[in-house]
């Protein structure tokens, strides 16, 4: 299957799942069906692209606990890979601009994900409150990409403070997540999909309950970033 045929089938597949997920998000407010669909979606995308997924570090994850998963981000394959790899329900923190994408963005808006408007402080604070509610009342985890956008080179960019401001407010452990190989399969700005292997490693959780100052947030941010970089495979 050529790269362009893969892209075509993934677009069709994404459109179909977006429509189904949109209705699931509206009709099933428990969002259990939505999370089941997101896992199936991720598996389907990887299968169409002929991408294999290798996961390590699952022994570090307690399925009965809620975490903030903080990952590097260099490819559109990061999200479907993590939808498959994370062993529990995890709400993705996504930027408001994505809601403008027909169907795909709409289903995210009605799903269990957390939209953040980086230009609006009040909206960002509401997003933090929503994250706290999801984690404490529904036992969900949170997934976010601390770089803010995809890396063009595959190298881990500087982290933004927002993820760690959130961590200090919710008090749940952070799990550094290292994704390797996704940027080689589909780099940012490219449309040619190569087959290959994506490695995902979950590092040991880092406690955040004692974080109270900006200095401590920044120290935590650097610590998590270093762990993410250390576990990326060359």
Which domains does the chain carry? Answer: 3-230 (3.40.1130.10)
Using only C-alpha atoms, the chain has a radius of gyration, in whole angstroms, of 17
pTM of the model: 0.91
38: exposed, middle or buried (C-beta count within 10 Å: 0-12, 13-18, 19+)? buried
Could you give the CA distance from residue 39 to residue 44 in angstroms, rounded to a whole number?
Answer: 9
Residue 175 main-chain phi, psi, to 5 deg: -110, 110
Contacts of 29 (CB under 8 A, 6+ apart): none
- The pLDDT tens digits of the residues spanning 154-212 come to 788 888 877 777 777 777 899 999 999 999 998 877 778 888 999 999 999 998 877 77
- Residue closest to 78 by CA, chosen among 58, 60, 102, 94: 94
């Amino acid at each position: 299957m050529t790269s362009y045929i893969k892209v075509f089938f993934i677009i069709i597949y994404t459109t179909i799942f977006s429509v189904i997920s949109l209705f699931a998000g509206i009709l099933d407010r428990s969002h259990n069906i939505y999370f089941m669909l997101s896992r199936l979606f991720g598996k389907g995308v990887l299968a169409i692209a002929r991408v294999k997924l290798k996961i390590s570090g699952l022994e570090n994850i307690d399925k009965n606990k809620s975490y903030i998963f903080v990952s590097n981000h260099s490819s559109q394959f990061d999200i479907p890979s993590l939808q498959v790899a994370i062993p529990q329900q995890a709400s993705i923190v996504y930027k408001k601009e994505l809601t403008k994408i027909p169907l795909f963005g709409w289903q995210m808006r009605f799903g269990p994900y957390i939209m953040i408007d980086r230009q609006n402080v009040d909206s960002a604070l509401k997003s933090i409150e929503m994250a706290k509610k999801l984690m404490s009342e529904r036992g969900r985890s949170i997934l976010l990409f601390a770089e803010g956008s995809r890396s063009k080179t595959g190298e881990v960019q500087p982290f933004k403070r927002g993820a760690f401001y959130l961590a200090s407010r919710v008090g749940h452990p952070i799990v550094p997540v290292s994704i390797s190989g996704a940027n080689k399969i589909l780099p940012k700005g490219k449309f040619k999909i190569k087959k290959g292997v994506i490695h995902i490693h979950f590092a040991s959780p880092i406690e955040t309950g004692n974080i109270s100052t900006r200095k401590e947030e920044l120290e935590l941010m650097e610590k998590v970033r270093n762990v993410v970089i250390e576990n990326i495979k060359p």
